[in-house]
Amino acid sequence: MPTTHWTIDASHSGVHFSVRHLVIAKVRGKFTNFNGTLELDETDLTRSKVDVSIDVASVNTSEDKRDAHLRSGDFFDAEKFPTATFKSTSISKTGEGYLVKGDLSVHGVTKEVDLHATFEGKGKDPRGGERAAFQAKTSINREDWGMKFNIPLDGGGVVVGTRIDLELEVEAVKAT
């Protein structure tokens, strides 16, 4: 079966993250502006491809001052590097899920990451269109992408953790 083209429906999808704050708590956020495509081999998902683009200026942690700081040169440097991208390089079956390897480009740096993904199913929407859903998770070290800002705390630790947990909920629409 040839591959089919799908477009991510951003209004029914999410790109979320969490990071440790003051060592003891987590701050959660999301990106509100992103898009992407999937080229799916519906008989063998390991022969599929994923391509996603995220507007880093759309970062939202529900705190305006923190979001402005995240857009600054201390973190994303959104003026200089406005887009983060992920392009899959391989997909393999792992038990009930998939390992999606790909190149994540953020802050002018590209590194390979592994997304642990599951196919959640597909079905028809009320207008007769076909939709498919996926979930994916990974953890990265933000310093690997040159985002090294931090403030040491009295007694040890730092203000912002280096490990970022990423979680994606994707609903895609099949091209007609």
List the domains of the chain with CATH numbers.
Answer: 4-174 (2.40.128.110)
Q: How does DSSP classify residue 32?
A: S
Better-predicted residue by pLDDT, 137 or 147: 137
Which residues does 93 contact at the CB level (< 8 Å), separation at least 6? 45, 46
Q: What percent of the chain has pLDDT over 90?
A: 76
Q: What is the DSSP string of 57-88?
A: GGEE-S-HHHHHHHHSTTTT-TTT--EEEEEE
Q: What percent of the chain has pLDDT over 70?
A: 99
Residue pLDDT, tens place only, 86-138: 999 999 999 889 999 999 999 999 999 999 999 999 999 888 889 999 999 99
Share the mean pLDDT of the chain: 92
18: closest CA among 73, 57, 62, 53? 62
Residue 33 near residue 54, CB atoms below 8 Å: yes
Phi, psi angles (nearest 5°) of residue 8:
-70, 130
Better-predicted residue by pLDDT, 2 or 141: 141
Q: Is the pLDDT of residue 51 over 90?
A: yes
Q: Is the pLDDT of residue 23 over 80?
A: no
- In the numeric block, which tokens belong to residue 64? 């305006």
